Amino acid sequence: MNTIRNLYPNEVEGLKVILRTVYQEILSYQEDRIQNNEIKMREAVKSTLPYLNLFKTHIPKYKQRYIELLEKQEELKAYDLIICFDRAIYELHARVEAGIFADLPWSKELRDLLNERQNTTGVEMTRNESVVEYITSGMSVSRGVVEGIARVILDEGNISELNQGDILVTSMTAPNFVPYARLVSGLVTDKGGLVCHAAILAREFNLPCVVGCKDATKTIQDGERIRLDADTGIVVRLTR
């Protein structure tokens, strides 16, 4: 039986390289939203279309719409383009996790890219022990400081439990989180890096966000009041 790797070895390797470039251009645009950066980002996304169309049949038909929209990117605003592209890649990533592309030589690297973990070191902080208590830390991918109720969501099906102003604490966000992005005041995840799904959404919605905490869903208690300091990458418990 022919595999995708056997049928399209060069295309597989090409996509691996291009994905890294595209996410870097997305990051550059989100950090400095000037016209030149947007043009570079759009060109990078366009360069993936031959590969995405090649693999499109391996994505559920009703989700192929994300790729089809990318073919008309001139009709999309920058935000919509980023979301459509990230969703298309997420679906490809999901096929990897499901084992459909498990035999590909780049499958582990793709998982590492889209679900990368960051090694964090201990962070010293000045605090009044009677007021706050250190919980965890990670990589700051969207700056800002916010206080609110932590809502620990371990199952995507429970995302509707979010209330206005909650700080979402989860392993990693998925596309079904997008409708709730304007509801929350901040994001904390166990996994991720600068170009992960949570980081991209947080920057688009201007939400303070810390990713790659590794243990956030275990150390943060659902319903407790926390302070998310995405300027320093630190999450603390408010004890008063």
Active site residue 93: no
- For residue 53, report the phi and psi dihedrals to the nearest 5 degrees: -65, -30
CB neighbours of residue 151 within 10 Å: 21
* Sequence-distant (≥ 6) Cβ neighbours of residue 110 within 8 angstroms: 16, 19, 92, 93, 96
DSSP state of 48: T
Count of other CB atoms within 10 angstroms of residue 103: 11
Task: Provide the residue type at 79 as one letter.
Answer: Y
**From the candidates 197, 203, 227, 237, which is the catalytic residue?**
197
Q: How far apart (Å, rounded) are the C-alpha atoms in residues 74 and 216?
A: 39
Q: What is the DSSP string of 168-237?
A: EEES---GGGGGGTTT-SEEEESS--TTSHHHHHHHHHT--EEE--SSHHHHSPTT-EEEEETTTTEEEE
Residues with a catalytic annotation lie at: 197
